[in-house]
Structure 1
Amino acid sequence: MTKYLRMMAIISIFAIPAGCQMDHSTSASDVKAANAELNREANAALQSLYTKTPQARALAQRAKGILVFPDVLKAGLIAGAHHGEGELIENGKVTGYYATTAASYGLQAGVQRFGYVMFFMTSSALNDLKTSNGFEVGVGPSIVVVDSGMAKSITTSTTQSDIYAFIFDQKGLMAGLGLQGSKITKLSR
């Protein structure tokens, strides 16, 4: 039984990132279409967040950059992983594409989809994302994950952290959701 559980854990760790990778033989038009689709999804995700949490719009107006992951898939059975692709928006324009990936181990079972947005409030935090060879959430700039209760008390005068993250549109069943340990890497497309 233990051998079976270990095998399931290993499979679940590698299944999500492997299933979400783009085929390296894709044409330029396929990449352009994928980027356009990601842009539509990111804009829809931002509008959904702004509608449900108006304070996020106020943060967006002051942010140096906004990293949007509209659709992240998390799955696990003892060991788990999550993966999704998103885009970085600076001054209203897309300046790069990124992937978020994490692996976890512990008491967990289920599958869930969610989106998240990170508002980079300082130039140094944004620079860390853009120049690192894999930005690790929880290492480096201070990040505050904002829940719905905290969002109501956020004002432009109370924001003191480098990065604010909002998790939204959760669908599915999975106990425990966080960003700690996520690695964000720039995609070459």
Structure 2
Amino acid sequence: MKTLTKNLVRTATVLLVLVLTACGSAKKTSDDLITDASQEKAMIEREHPMMAEYFNSAEGYAIFPNVGKGAYIIGGASGNGVVYDNGNLIGYADLKQVDIGLQLGGKAFVEVLFFETEEALQRFKDGSYEVSANASGVILDKGFSEDLEFQDGVAIVTVPKGGAMAGISVGGQRFEYTPIQ
């Protein structure tokens, strides 16, 4: 039993390292990232027209157009994004997620963080920003018509792109912000 546990932990650790290095946006230029984010924003507004109001009325938002997640008990996700303040590009951000639970598979998705207030946006820009495991997010899917719930001035929206993943897990996300020089 001890050998099985040791092998399972070793396999999960190797998988996590591979996921964190391979997931998310491939090495792209900042122009590619901005283009991807713009295209995903347009898709969200086209397929979910009520979201246009959130993009227009939020103090700011961060959009991660290509987040990749993989898991085998221990999971990880990674992606790069762009940050806007009142519709103006102000910087870039990296997303990292680690979670644990009964989970298996891989998926790709778009993630958007809407900042309701200047204070919420400033907390994000101040450095390492974390979203706890108990933060709730909305998954945009066909027929979505609910209002977003802001917690501490932040609402999280994800849009599935592809893949298959099953399971239940607990974890959190960490973001690093880099202003435009």
TM category, shorter: 0.7 to 0.9
Q: Is the 8 A contact 1:144 1:163 kept in 2?
A: no
Question: Equivalent pairs: percent with the same residue?
Answer: 24
1:145 matches 2:140: no
Offset, 1:48: 1.0
Q: Which residue of 2 aligns with 1:27?
A: none
**Distance (Å, rounded) in 2 between the aligned partners of 1:51 and 1:66:** 18
Judged with a 3 Å threshold, the aligned counterparts in structure 2 of structure 1 residues 178 and 94 are, in CA distance, closer, same or farther, namely farther
Deviates more, 1:100-109 or 1:142-151: 142-151
How does the TM-score come out when normalised to structure 2?
A: 0.83
Q: Is the 8 A contact 1:137 1:180 kept in 2?
A: no
1:122 matches 2:125: no
Judged with a 3 Å threshold, the aligned counterparts in structure 2 of structure 1 residues 65 and 143 are, in CA distance, closer, same or farther, namely farther
Secondary structure of the residue that 1:182 maps to in structure 2?
strand
Letter in 1 for 2:106: V
Q: Which residue of 2 aligns with 1:165?
A: 156
Judged with a 3 Å threshold, the aligned counterparts in structure 2 of structure 1 residues 178 and 37 are, in CA distance, closer, same or farther, namely farther
Q: Which residue of 2 aligns with 1:93?
A: 88
**Distance (Å, rounded) in 2 between the aligned partners of 1:177 and 1:90:** 34
**Distance (Å, rounded) in 2 between the aligned partners of 1:144 and 1:55:** 19
How many residues align? The count is 174
Structure 1: tracts of 5 or more residues without a match: 23-30
Deviates more, 1:171-180 or 1:5-14: 171-180
Judged with a 3 Å threshold, the aligned counterparts in structure 2 of structure 1 residues 114 and 94 are, in CA distance, closer, same or farther, namely same
Offset, 1:146: 2.3
Q: Which aligned runs of 4 or more in structure 1 are off by greater than 6 angstroms?
A: none
Higher helix share: 1
Matches within 5 A, 1:1-189: 1-19=4-22, 34-131=29-126, 133-138=127-132, 144-148=136-140, 151-154=144-147, 161=151, 162-176=153-167, 181-187=172-178
How does the TM-score come out when normalised to structure 1?
A: 0.79
**Distance (Å, rounded) in 1 between the aligned partners of 2:161 and 2:169:** 12
**Distance (Å, rounded) in 1 between the aligned partners of 2:12 and 2:47:** 35
Offset, 1:17: 2.6
Secondary structure of the residue that 1:175 maps to in structure 2?
strand
Residues 106-158 of structure 1: CA deviation (Å, up to 9, x unaligned): 11111111111111111111010001x3110138xx9652244895132xxx8
Higher strand share: 2
Letter in 2 for 1:9: A
Offset, 1:169: 3.0
